[in-house]
Structure 1
Amino acid sequence: MEEIEGRNSSETRPPHPNPSITSAFRQCQRNDPVILPCRKSLVRHASLQTKMKLSAEDVTEDCQTDFLPNIRSGGYADIGFRSSMEDVYICVDNFMQEHGLNRHIDGPSAFYGVFDGHGGKHAADFACNHLPKFILEDKDFPVDIERIVASAFLQTDNAFAEACSLDAALASGTTALATLILGRLLVVANAGDCRAVLCRRGKAIDMSRDHKPVCMKEQRRIEASGGYVYDGYLNGQLNVARAIGDWHMEGMKCKDGGPLSAEPELITTKLTAEDEFLIIGCDGIWDVFRSQNAVDFARRRLQEHNDPAVCSKDLVDEALKRKSGDNLAAVVVCFQQHPPPNLVAPRSRVHRSFSAEGLKELQSFLDSLEK
């Protein structure tokens, strides 16, 4: 995902693990972004005065169970066929413990995110570093988690605007998808065209919606905010309807709102024993994978080696084989210690019956044999 014009990103190499980065923030690629203090104020876009939340019948069902996920995760990124790398991801399996929070919750606490930069990597790096901090530093965390996460997205966007005002070289944008696991609760917040897909007993369940300008809901919001969609692009410039950053692009954002929104859509579910793993990835993955196809592929790989980090690399490598033309980043989060089981489809009973005409023909045949 990129701007049509105005790309100013520099040449970079594919990301590699950096041992100097704390293990909690594995593979969160950085270019020493500006670190700003946490702001508690929240400025909402005028076009988004009502809370937006996805609903899905498969996801909102609440199965009564004592199941608690046993978290394992891994991620992988590749520059692909692009000249520069602008995708970033983060994996934190012990979100609260790593940051010394002693607020008790039953079960794990984890944070995962993917950020797909455009016009440079600064916004993606900035969001990767600041978004989890704004979540953790909220005095109400982990209570009222949906409000906290939505607020953190907008705080990150506002903080990046301030950083860009101090250093114009940071000007860029990024889509963002963040996933929190708190006990059994799975929360996914998305702004842009990254995607999260849950595997529930082999079935793919979309946990996010791609924010493309051509989507009817997004187009209505864009037009109500003074923008327009031309040839599938927001204001003829961006092929996403929501993103963090892009404050330098004329007509996209202002303090009173604008057609480009950083407010995420959220969807939550309570994990059950049937939930096997979650895939989150930037749009370079989903350009060549359908959700169910990705789940089927990842499931087969996990059955072979049961390693989420290797599975993430498998997804990226397969996307390259399928000629994805973008940077690639994927994270796989497993909820069980054992690999996904083989699914045996139950045999349905087949009821057979003869018509009166068929019975007559059969009787005639038997009578002929007796003669």
Structure 2
Amino acid sequence: MEEIEGVNCFSEGRSSSETRPPNPNSSIASAFRQCQRNDPLVLPCRKSLVRHASLQTKMKLSDVSAEDVTEGFQSDFLPKLRSGGCADIGFRSNMEDVYVCVDNFRQGHGLNKHIDGPSAFYGVFDGHGGKHAADFACNHLPKFILEDKDFPVDIERIVASAFLQTDYAFAEACSLNAALASGTTALATLVIGRLLVVANAGDCRAVLCRRGKAIDMSRDHKPGCMKEQRRIEASGGSVYDGYLNGQLNVARAIGDWHMEGMKGKDGGPLSAEPELMTTKLTAEDEFLIIGCDGIWDVFRSQNAVDFARRRLQEHNDPAVCSKDLVDEALKRKSGDNLAVVVVCFQQQPPPNLVAPRSRVHRSFSAEGLKELQSFLDSLAK
């Protein structure tokens, strides 16, 4: 496999590059690069996923067709992508989080014949039990997406398949080198034309800002959430004190093949299958925030959007805005590694939103008119 141009995984703070996974597939051996990352954070279970009325949530992976993609390029609105990311070790002793920003996903891969609009890939990966799974997923997930012969058509099926391929490939790498044993949550975002696709496995989160309103584009996969708990128990697992099998505080992740009772050839309670949400971007969509749970431990979705929006109005720089979010999370005493990516869909900064002043209607009630008439009549006598 060719190395993907422009795909680099980033982290800041302390990093380590001592061990690279042996490749489970010789076709991707030359493509692996060592990543750096930040550590995971824990967020309380969200009881429900807030969906904006205009969002299209497609649960069938085959729902995104060639017509959907083509329509994205024929629309009057096409996003003009700008992005930036930031990561920090925070108060942890090791960095296990990583992010990736690729504004031009098709560059150098002959995809111009398929699409005329933007194509981009963004991801955050929150490692646990070591850094290797996050590094591996950061490097291999976008490759598996690009390798699919149907890309960019049927994009949800392709992305879901890439998550599982990455998981199995990492299992094989671990079988060759047990020192790689670890796990990672993963959130991947693609922009194809004006189609926004978010795939999530774990407790990272993506939040869309639509004219100042925060719209959750992912659901936090905590073991205690009712939907996840039912899936876990149906797969032979259990939830103890909020932890999957009493060991993990996430219900979905890539890796963790070394943990007994989590995964197997026939499945298991820990799933690498992502949940997907898609929407067609409009001129009202301003930016997207994707971050590991260290960010969301100290920010609510709307709070993060309000904060980022103010910063973008000041400097209109998504990279600086990402650093602003990380710095603010540190001020708010987030206890985890921190990684965040901000993707802007417009060239201009977010506009000021001035609420229209409501017109004041003054009127008399029937009873008031009666009393006024009585008063006037008494004056006339």
TM bucket normalised to smaller: 0.7 to 0.9
Question: How has the CA–CA distance of structure 1 residues 96 and 49 changed in structure 2, closer, same or farther, with 3 Å as cutoff?
Answer: closer
Mapped to 1, the partners of 2:180 and 2:154 lie a distance apart of 32
Shift of 1:141: 1.1
Mapped to 1, the partners of 2:360 and 2:135 lie a distance apart of 58
Gaps of 5+ in 2: 5-11
Query: Is the Cα contact below 8 Å between 1:47 and 1:258 reproduced in 2?
Result: no
Mapped to 1, the partners of 2:28 and 2:92 lie a distance apart of 26
Gaps of 5+ in 1: none
> CA deviation digits over 1:150-180, x for unaligned, max 9?
0000000000000000111100000000000
Query: Is the Cα contact below 8 Å between 2:38 and 2:88 reproduced in 1?
Result: no
Question: How has the CA–CA distance of structure 1 residues 32 and 120 changed in structure 2, closer, same or farther, with 3 Å as cutoff?
Answer: closer
Shift of 1:22: 17
Task: With the length of structure 2 as denominator, give the TM-score of the two structures.
Answer: 0.80
SS in 2 for 1:336: coil
Sequence identity percentage:
92
Match of 2:3 in 1: 3
Query: Is the Cα contact below 8 Å between 2:39 and 2:94 reproduced in 1?
Result: no
Query: Is the Cα contact below 8 Å between 2:45 and 2:224 reproduced in 1?
Result: no
Mapped to 2, the partners of 1:43 and 1:262 lie a distance apart of 23
Mapped to 2, the partners of 1:218 and 1:313 lie a distance apart of 33
Mapped to 2, the partners of 1:302 and 1:290 lie a distance apart of 18
> CA deviation digits over 1:61-113, x for unaligned, max 9?
99994101000000000011111111100000011114454433121110000
Moved more, 316-325 or 169-178: 316-325
Query: Is the Cα contact below 8 Å between 2:57 and 2:279 reproduced in 1?
Result: no
Shift of 1:44: 28
Mapped to 2, the partners of 1:249 and 1:49 lie a distance apart of 36
Shift of 1:203: 0.8
Question: How has the CA–CA distance of structure 1 residues 25 and 309 changed in structure 2, closer, same or farther, with 3 Å as cutoff?
Answer: farther
Query: Is the Cα contact below 8 Å between 2:42 and 2:249 reproduced in 1?
Result: no
Query: Is the Cα contact below 8 Å between 1:2 and 1:118 reproduced in 2?
Result: no
Mapped to 2, the partners of 1:38 and 1:299 lie a distance apart of 26
Shift of 1:350: 2.9
Match of 1:332 in 2: 342
Moved more, 168-177 or 45-54: 45-54
Mapped to 2, the partners of 1:46 and 1:350 lie a distance apart of 30
Question: How has the CA–CA distance of structure 1 residues 280 and 238 changed in structure 2, closer, same or farther, with 3 Å as cutoff?
Answer: same
Query: Is the Cα contact below 8 Å between 1:2 and 1:239 reproduced in 2?
Result: no
Mapped to 1, the partners of 2:150 and 2:44 lie a distance apart of 18
Match of 1:357 in 2: 367
Query: Is the Cα contact below 8 Å between 1:188 and 1:268 reproduced in 2?
Result: yes
State the number of aligned residues.
371
Query: Is the Cα contact below 8 Å between 1:69 and 1:335 reproduced in 2?
Result: yes
Question: How has the CA–CA distance of structure 1 residues 198 and 35 changed in structure 2, closer, same or farther, with 3 Å as cutoff?
Answer: closer
Mapped to 1, the partners of 2:361 and 2:56 lie a distance apart of 57
Shift of 1:344: 1.3
Mapped to 1, the partners of 2:301 and 2:45 lie a distance apart of 36
Mapped to 1, the partners of 2:138 and 2:341 lie a distance apart of 14
Question: How has the CA–CA distance of structure 1 residues 120 and 353 changed in structure 2, closer, same or farther, with 3 Å as cutoff?
Answer: same
Shift of 1:21: 17
Question: How has the CA–CA distance of structure 1 residues 260 and 21 changed in structure 2, closer, same or farther, with 3 Å as cutoff?
Answer: closer
Mapped to 2, the partners of 1:257 and 1:48 lie a distance apart of 31
Moved more, 325-334 or 56-65: 56-65
Query: Is the Cα contact below 8 Å between 2:73 and 2:117 reproduced in 1?
Result: no
Question: How has the CA–CA distance of structure 1 residues 7 and 318 changed in structure 2, closer, same or farther, with 3 Å as cutoff?
Answer: closer
Mapped to 1, the partners of 2:151 and 2:47 lie a distance apart of 13
Query: Is the Cα contact below 8 Å between 1:2 and 1:119 reproduced in 2?
Result: no
Match of 1:136 in 2: 146
Shift of 1:238: 0.6
> CA deviation digits over 1:181-202, x for unaligned, max 9?
1111111000000000111111
Mapped to 2, the partners of 1:346 and 1:43 lie a distance apart of 26
Query: Is the Cα contact below 8 Å between 1:42 and 1:154 reproduced in 2?
Result: no
Question: How has the CA–CA distance of structure 1 residues 324 and 56 changed in structure 2, closer, same or farther, with 3 Å as cutoff?
Answer: farther
Query: Is the Cα contact below 8 Å between 1:27 and 1:90 reproduced in 2?
Result: no
- Alignment partner of 2:79 out of 69, 73, 76: 69
Shift of 1:354: 2.2
Q: CA RMSD in A?
A: 9.4
Query: Is the Cα contact below 8 Å between 1:28 and 1:90 reproduced in 2?
Result: no
Query: Is the Cα contact below 8 Å between 1:113 and 1:179 reproduced in 2?
Result: yes
Task: With the length of structure 1 as denominator, give the TM-score of the two structures.
Answer: 0.83
Mapped to 1, the partners of 2:51 and 2:322 lie a distance apart of 35
> CA deviation digits over 1:251-307, x for unaligned, max 9?
000010000000001111111111110000000111111111111111000000000
Mapped to 2, the partners of 1:233 and 1:133 lie a distance apart of 32
Query: Is the Cα contact below 8 Å between 2:187 and 2:201 reproduced in 1?
Result: yes
Question: How has the CA–CA distance of structure 1 residues 201 and 27 changed in structure 2, closer, same or farther, with 3 Å as cutoff?
Answer: farther
Query: Is the Cα contact below 8 Å between 2:36 and 2:95 reproduced in 1?
Result: no
Question: How has the CA–CA distance of structure 1 residues 208 and 50 changed in structure 2, closer, same or farther, with 3 Å as cutoff?
Answer: closer
Shift of 1:139: 1.3
- Alignment partner of 2:38 out of 20, 31, 35: 31
Shift of 1:340: 0.4
Mapped to 1, the partners of 2:81 and 2:157 lie a distance apart of 24
Question: How has the CA–CA distance of structure 1 residues 214 and 105 changed in structure 2, closer, same or farther, with 3 Å as cutoff?
Answer: same
Moved more, 59-68 or 227-236: 59-68
Question: How has the CA–CA distance of structure 1 residues 359 and 165 changed in structure 2, closer, same or farther, with 3 Å as cutoff?
Answer: same
Question: How has the CA–CA distance of structure 1 residues 85 and 316 changed in structure 2, closer, same or farther, with 3 Å as cutoff?
Answer: same
Shift of 1:347: 2.2
Shift of 1:26: 12
Mapped to 1, the partners of 2:306 and 2:42 lie a distance apart of 40
Shift of 1:345: 1.1
